[in-house]
Chain A
Amino acid sequence: MLANERSASFSSGLETVAVMAPPVRYCIPGERLCNLEEGSPGSGTYTRHGYIFSSLAGCLTKSSENGALPVISVMRETESQLLPDVGAIVTCKVSSINSRFAKVHILYVGSTPLKNSFRGTIRKEDVRATEKDKVEIYKSFRPGDIVLAKVISLGDAQSNYLLTTAENELGVVVAHSESGVQMVPISWCEMQCPKTHTKEFRKVARVQPEFLQT
């Protein structure tokens, strides 16, 4: 590579040697990368006829592990198109509620924001782990709440993503009271407005220990 030769001749004249990053190899979809014996396929690749092909237009990275075959993957700079997958924790905003379920807009998957929001549904029996039949959606969520939930199913063609909050760490994180002020959680099922001191029912997520101040 021309860049390498240039840097080698330059460093010979200097005392300090600059470390050159290895030349990045870019590949395009459909480019044959290597044999299945020389590496194992990672993200952004697919295998066919015993060879690994690239399926993204990006940089080729080889992560060499001890003992096992190096994992060959193609990375793009922006972690693109993160779609909610089964088992992922998502942050969503409640858009409407019903006596049977709550409809939400999925805004973040993990910690990456989505460019286009997806729609999800939290059914009445998926709100809590205990006493599922005594759940009232009106006492668990309200429109406008920010909720942490987990994806249980992609749903079929007609319906949206199915989410659940049936864990201690899942549930309402941010909610506004009827007077418009952000409420403070006081227990797993109640939140209190700091201005009017009224308590409202929500299914509250357990606050992570690092955010508690004692």
Chain B
Amino acid sequence: MPADHRRIRVPEESQPPQLYAAGEGEAPAPRDPARLRPVYARAGLLSQAKGSAYLEAGGPKVLCAESGPRQAEGGERGGCPARAGCEAPAALSGRLLCDFRRAPFSGRRRRVAPGSGEERELALALQESLEPAVRLGRYPRAQLEVWALLLGDGGSALAAPLTAAALALAAAGVEMYDLVVGCGLSRAPGPAPAWLLDPTLLEEERAAAGLSVALMAVLKQVAGLLGSGEGGPNESWAEAVHLGFEGCQRLYPVLQQCLVRAARRRGGAAPL
């Protein structure tokens, strides 16, 4: 057969290279179920955004920015002026819009297009958890926008952006009732497993169920709860929620210090 110079000679069958990759099959190391990875938080780092925060909790790294309040866009409907007497107070309170993105380099595999489904669901969860904490009644007809960018994934994809978003809102000077702290949990598959607080990426990939808890620390009110995975006895979910609360309370002093430091930096820069 004459040599075919237009095609590259390859074997007839091909296999995906992951089969030959070094084993990721090692099980996650046993650890104290209530350990929290050390957290680094800094608020007020972006000069172009009204408020911003960067949070690093072991694996997950999140950058969050807040802007506004600006005129709510839904009101631009034709030129029909309203009667001055009738106002609907519920329609007058402000709105909170959240946008969640994952950077393409955040996970092991590069994401080609922004995965719209999961990101939109997480953005909605973010908005639902932050709304109870922000005093939207003080910003009539305005909208506040929060952008969260996940730079590195490391387990608990919702908890870290939630905490960073609350920090960004507080650093921007938005009036809030309380700081929302987020915490992630996961449960490994198998009979009678324990819930692990703040799972690493490996633990979360092998998890049978996951839970994200958002707690308003001082008022002790739950702002959001997002769970997924296999069901189990109710007591195990209740115990997971309590473990999440404990994690959030332990995280709160770090955030408090971070905000105080940011306020001090702002106060030091602008002499009164």
Bound complex: CA of A59 vs CA of B68, how far in Å? 22
Interface size class of B (residues with CB under 8 A): 35 or more
User: Which of these, B91, B139, B172, B256, contacts A156 with CB under 8 Å?
Assistant: B91
Answer yes or no: B101 CB below 8 A from chain A CBs. no
Tell whether, in the assembled complex, residue B175 and residue A55 are in contact, meaning their CB atoms are under 8 Å apart.
yes
A48 to B179, CA, bound (A): 16
Q: Binary interface profile of A, 9-48, with partner B (CB < 8 Å = 1, else 0)? A: 0000000000000001011111110000000000010101
Interface residues of B in 81-103 (CB under 8 A from A): 81-82, 84, 86-88, 91-92
Tell which of B74, B81, B176 touches A30, judged by Cβ atoms closer than 8 Å. Answer: B176
Pairwise interchain contact A57-B171, C-beta atoms closer than 8 A:
yes
Query: Do A30 and B219 touch (CB < 8 A)?
Result: yes
Separation in Å of the A167 CB from the closest CB of chain B? Answer: 16
Task: Write the nearest CB–CB distance from A65 to chain B, whole angstroms.
Answer: 21
Chain A residues positioned under 8 Å from B70 (CB to CB): 115-116
B225 within 8 A of A: no
Q: From the candidates B74, B86, B219, B259, name the one contacting A28 in the complex (CB within 8 A).
A: B259
B170 contact from A28, A103, A160, Cβ within 8 A:
A28
A32 to B179 CA separation, bound complex (whole angstroms): 12
A188 proximal to B (CB < 8 A): no
How far is it, in angstroms, between the C-alpha of A53 and the C-alpha of B219 when the chains are bound? 10
Contact of B92 among A29, A76, A80, A154 (CB under 8 A): A154
The stretch of B7-15, B54-62, B148-156, B262-270 in contact with A is B262-270
Complex-state Cα separation, A44 to B138, whole angstroms: 10
Give the contact stretch, choosing among A117-125, A133-141, A170-178, A192-200. A117-125
Cross-chain contact A119 with B71 (CB below 8 angstroms): yes
Q: How far is the CA of A154 from the CA of B177 in the complex (A)?
A: 24
Asked if residues B79 and A103 are in contact (CB atoms below 8 Å), the reply is yes
Contacting residue for A81 out of B71, B80, B173, B262, CB 8 A? B173
B194: interface (CB < 8 Å)? no
Is B178 within 8 A of A81, CB to CB?
no
Any B CB within 8 A of the CB of A98: yes
**Quick check: is A94 within 8 A (CB to CB) of the other chain?**
no
- A27–B141 Cα distance when bound, in Å, is 28
Q: Which of A117, A158, A162 has the most CB of B within 10 A?
A: A158
Residue of B nearest to A74 (CB): B175
Question: Is B6 part of the binding interface, using a Cβ–Cβ cutoff of 8 Å?
Answer: no
Contact B82 A57 (CB under 8 A): no
Q: Is A157 positioned at the interface, with any CB of B under 8 Å from its CB?
A: yes
B68, B140, B216: most-surrounded residue (chain A CB, <10 A):
B140
Q: Is the CB of A78 closer than 8 A to any CB of chain B?
A: yes
- Of the candidates B77, B142, B216, the one whose C-beta lies within 8 Å of that of A83 is B142
With a cutoff of 8 Å between Cβ atoms, the chain A residues found around residue B141 in the complex are: 83, 118, 154-155, 157, 161
- CB pair B267–A77 under 8 Å, yes or no, is yes
Minimum distance in angstroms from A26 CB to a CB of chain B: 4
Q: Are B260 and A162 in contact (CB under 8 A)?
A: no
Whether B82 contacts A162 by the Cβ 8 Å rule is yes
Q: Do the beta carbons of B270 and A77 come within 8 Å of each other? A: yes
Residue A152, interface by CB 8 Å: yes
* A85-121 to B contact mask, C-beta < 8 Å, 1/0: 0000000000000101101000000000001111101
Question: In the complex, given contacts A26-B263, A57-B173, A161-B141, what are 6 additional A-B residue pairs having Cβ atoms less than 8 angstroms apart?
Answer: A27-B260, A28-B256, A30-B217, A55-B177, A58-B263, A154-B87
For this complex, 21 residue pairs linking A to B, each with C-beta atoms less than 8 Å apart, are A24-B267, A26-B267, A27-B260, A29-B133, A30-B179, A30-B219, A31-B218, A44-B175, A53-B177, A80-B172, A81-B139, A83-B141, A100-B81, A101-B81, A116-B70, A118-B141, A156-B91, A157-B141, A158-B80, A159-B81, A162-B81
9 closest Cβ pairs, A-B complex: A30-B178, A157-B91, A116-B70, A29-B176, A159-B82, A80-B173, A30-B218, A26-B263, A55-B175
